[in-house]
């Protein structure tokens, strides 16, 4: 499905409100002046409010993308889109894309 491309300025959060940021954006490909993000490099999560053991499994640490663009690639890797999906480790909860740039769409 088509969706807007994610770039370094996109807002992505975990299910517990932690901020997720890309570990390896592609500096050679820019949208709205910021590098795009791709799969498979994970996102790192900071500020997750999920309680540590024994109350729960602990805070989200990383987000692994399981669904990305099927047609658009940057440096040979699929770009992340507004409808891409990710799972956080170790909690197994999803990342949520809250805000992205609104000019460039991919599929």
Instruction: Give tens-digit pLDDT for 30-83.
Output: 999 999 999 999 999 999 999 988 888 899 999 999 999 999 999 999 999 999
Write down the pLDDT at residue 52.
86
Distances, alpha carbon 85 to alpha carbons 28, 51, 54, 79, 82, in Å: 24, 24, 28, 12, 9
* Pair 47, 61: CB distance under 8 Å: no
- Domain borders along the chain are 3-102
Model's pTM, two decimal places? 0.91
2 pLDDT higher than 90: no
Sheet holding 11-14, edge to edge: 85-89, 62-67, 43-46, 19-22, 11-14, 95-99
- Domain 3-102, CATH 2.20.28 — does that match? no
Question: How far is the C-alpha of 97 from the C-alpha of 86, rounded, in Å?
Answer: 10
């Amino acid at each position: 499905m088509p969706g807007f491309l994610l770039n370094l300025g996109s807002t992505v959060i975990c299910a517990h409100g932690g901020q997720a940021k890309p570990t390896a954006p592609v500096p050679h490909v820019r949208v709205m002046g910021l590098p795009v993000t791709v799969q498979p490099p994970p996102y790192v999560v900071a500020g997750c409010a999920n309680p540590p053991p024994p109350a729960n499994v602990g805070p989200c640490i990383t987000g692994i993308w399981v669904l990305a663009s099927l047609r658009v690639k940057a440096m040979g890797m699929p770009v992340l889109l507004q409808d891409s999906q990710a799972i956080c480790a170790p909690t197994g909860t999803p990342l949520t894309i809250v805000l992205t740039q609104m000019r460039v769409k991919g599929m």
